[in-house]
Amino acid sequence: MELGQILVTEKDIQRRVAELGERITADYQGREVFVIGILKGAAVFMSDLIRQIKVPVEIDFMSLSSYGTATKTSGVVRMLRDLDREIAGKHILVVEDIVDTGLTLSYLRENLMVRKPASLKICTFLDKPSRRQVELKPDYCGLEIDDYFVVGYGLDYNEKGRELPYIAVVKP
């Protein structure tokens, strides 16, 4: 894997995560938020984000896949890991690393809504609206980016690059 330009620096990531934490804190004032991190990519973002949220937080994880080892989505969503806890009546915040076509999150939203949460919002660090194949707009978004394949800050290419403290473009 060869890296191209750095799209988001470590400092910009920290600033944006703090801003998202402030917005989420304001929106959930007086309530507890149940944060669901989508593995593996959102783990780094989620761990930073929950430390910026100043209301009670409960966490769990799910794992879904539509990529396998490719750089383009297959369009078929598979659930690899479900929640350990019930979410009925809880205020849910799904935390994702990146929203691309929207297929995975659309599937996930439908799956979670059947479980009757009090509310459900989506927070993503990166959004690629130009690639959207379904109607889906995250409630909280760190940054919108163009149609690049990126790694770093939890995002990977074939399980490589997650540890990078910045977000960079992968050269084709």
- Please answer whether residues 49 and 28 qualify as being in contact, where contact means their C-beta atoms are separated by less than 8 angstroms: no
**Residue 154: other Cβ atoms inside 10 A:** 24
Report yes or no on 136 lying in a domain: yes
pTM of model > 0.75: yes
Looking at per-residue confidence, does 77 or 43 come out higher? 43
CATH value at residue 44: 3.40.50.2020
Report yes or no on 163 lying in a domain: no
For the stretch 30-40, pLDDT in tens is 999 999 999 99
How many structural domains comprise the chain? 1
Q: What are phi and psi of 69, to 5 degrees?
A: -105, 10
Determine the structural domain holding residue 122 and report its residue range.
11-145
Annotated catalytic residues are 100
Report yes or no on 48 lying in a domain: yes
Report yes or no on 56 lying in a domain: yes
Pairwise CA distance, residues 11 & 4, whole Å: 19
- Please answer whether residues 49 and 38 qualify as being in contact, where contact means their C-beta atoms are separated by less than 8 angstroms: no
Report yes or no on 102 lying in a domain: yes
